[in-house]
Amino acid sequence: MSRSRAAIILAAGQGTRMKSKTVKVLHKVAGRPMLDWAVALAGECGASDIVTVWGAHSPAVRDAAEALGTRTALQDPPKGTGHAVLAAREALADQTGDAIVLYADTPLITAATVARVFEALEGGASVAVLGFEPADPAAYGRLITNEAGDLDRIVEFKDANEAERAVGLVNSGVLAAPADLLFDLLGDVGNDNANGEYYLTDVVGLARARGLRAAVVVADADEVLGVNSRNDLAEAEAAFQSRMRKSMMADGVTLVAPETVFFAHDTRIARDVVIEPHVVFGPGVVIEEDAVIHAHSHIEGAHLHRGAHAGPYARLRPGAVLGAGSKVGNFVEIKKSQLAEGAKVSHLTYIGDASVGANANIGAGTITCNYDGYDKHRTVIGDNAFIGSNTCLVAPVTVGAGAFTATGAVITEDVPADALALARTPQTHKPGWAARFHAAKRARKARKDSQT
């Protein structure tokens, strides 16, 4: 990269078709707000200076962009994409390199594609535009090329004639140029068009009028899918999931039923992991080699080490760490807890705010009672401990290495290593009580029936 790079992220749209109190660009794809996707892309493509353009109706966008480390510029009132880019001119007054315009509602463009746009500038173009060829060009602006294959002009659909509307190559909106040239061209853009707006796309025609070359780079249609509605959001999610599933399998992950598995933007899974049907990954999941995720499990913010098993019907919440060869079984929930190597939590159990030692066995129905209504407290279970079924461990509490707790125990005090903890009322019998109970109930029912 011989020249510095800047990115201008347009995020000032109203997003009315989302019909949501949440600003459009803060809606999530693969567990990540669309604005975050755009900012991350700008960084991945080498932009050292990033400016997010926001609208007066959405201060939440300004706050989110600044939290992500970008500078911000206000577009008020909104007068089109060209006007939006001009809002960033003051922030980039000292930029001597290239600038690219990205969109906060187009989350799936890859850094490799953006690199091709910059390569077009390095190859001699003064302006480079990212286009695509959708199955239905619909109302997209058309990219009109000349005999040499260079871009001649961009025509908005509303302003296009019949021949121009027949063109299948359309505009994604992404455009790059030297920053000083971009703002200079935008200064000449007018608003004599069907919408009375200042179009960013007009810079292509203005550059050509100066004898400058404009290039077009073609991307896959799924990659430049813009989101304007809930339906578009679902399509973007589907496109991401399809891409991620193919990538996972290409890298050596087994997906038994790929179409039923859903990933987050940052899911990391090593080769030779097996994922059974109907598994959902939230953000922050790392799974090491030879692990198995059984069907109908939900995993978020968790780390599974080599050979760990989870599910079926397991829920691993943030902070869950499963050691090598450990097992979490059906209807088990783990939250902010660490299972050491070989530990087993097989059935119907909640483990929260706990440390479980190596090769410990947690019986069915066990609960770590970690919350007193005000604060969370920690449970520590030592190596090789055995927790009997239906044990309640009232935190803070420690069960020593090799210790046992009896079935049905309520443990409120620390258990020494290698001890047996018994904490339940001794069983007693009342002879004849059941017979007397049934007789009394039957008599009562008979009297009630005779009165109706």
Which residues are marked as active site? 347
Alpha-carbon gap, residue 419 to 421, rounded angstroms = 6
Tokens of 69: 């480390």
Helices 202-209 and 179-186, packing angle to 10 deg: 100
Q: Rounded to whole angstroms, how far apart are CA atoms 169 and 172? A: 10
Q: In whole angstroms, what separates CA 113 from the centre of its chain?
A: 21
Q: What is the DSSP string of 340-366?
A: -TT-EEEEEEEEESEEE-TT-EE-TT-
Please compute, for residue 224, the number of CA atoms within 13 A of its CA located in the half-sphere on the CB side: 24
Reduce the DSSP state of residue 45 to 3 states and report it.
coil
SS3 percent helix, strand, coil of the chain, rounded to 5, is 25, 30, 45
99 and 26 Cβ atoms separated by less than 8 Å: no
* Nearest-angstrom CA–CA distance, 297 and 12: 38
Distance of CA 337 to the CA centre of its chain: 23
Burial state string for 183-205 with b = 16 or more CB within 10 A and e = fewer than 16: bebbeebeeeeeeebbbbbbbbb
* C-alpha 171 chain-centroid distance: 27
Peptide bond into 318 cis (omega under 30): no
CA–CA separation, 7 and 25 (whole Å): 17
Nearest to 350 by CA among 383, 323, 379: 379
Is the Cβ–Cβ distance between 385 and 370 less than 8 Å? Answer: no
Strands 214-219 and 268-269, sheet pairing: unpaired
Residues forming beta bridges with residue 55, ordered by sequence position? 75
Give residue 396's identity as a one-letter amino acid code: P
- Neighbouring C-beta atoms of residue 234, cutoff 10 Å: 12
